[in-house]
Amino acid sequence: MVMGFMGLIGFMVAALLTGCLTSWVWCFVNKWEVSEDCTISQWVQIHGPKKVGEMMRCPFCFNWWTAWVVVVVALVVTGEWWLVGVPFFSTTIGRLLSS
């Protein structure tokens, strides 16, 4: 199935919105304090699994996996398979907004 011009616009909007959402989640996780002087990111780095703690220190990795979570939820809700390509473009957008 050919996407067409409006499909391309929808893809770009989905990538932009996903990038903005992942950037917002990154800021939220790094600013919201779970306890006194301990953000969610720091708490996960201390108490969470090692790989997840490493991801919390890397904005690119965090945006990549957060974008995949958003896309999988959107895929289940809409059934649109073209959404699978969104993280490849939204990660860069989210990384630029997170810095």
- pLDDT tens string 62-89: 889 889 999 999 999 988 888 899 999 9
Q: Are the C-beta atoms of 26 and 98 separated by less than 8 Å?
A: yes
Range in 3-7, 50-54, 56-60 the model is least confident about: 3-7
Angle of the 40-47 helix axis to the 4-31 helix axis, nearest 10: 80
Tell whether 31 is covered by a domain: no
Better-scored residue on pLDDT, 41 or 64: 64
Does the residue 14 lie in any domain? Answer: no
Q: Which residues span the domain enclosing 88?
A: 59-99
- Residue 70 inside a domain? The answer is yes
Q: Which residue has the tokens 């969470």?
A: 48
Residue 1 has pLDDT above 60, yes or no: no
Rounded to whole angstroms, the Cα distance separating 78 from 86 reads 14
Give residue 43's pLDDT. 80
Contact (Cβ atoms closer than 8 angstroms) between residue 59 and residue 51:
no
Q: Is the pTM of this model over 0.85?
A: no
Contact present, 67 and 24 (Cβ < 8 Å): no
Percent of the chain having pLDDT more than 70?
93
| CB-CB neighbours of 3 under 10 Å | 11
Count of the separate structural domains present in the chain:
1
Residue 44, in any domain of the structure = no
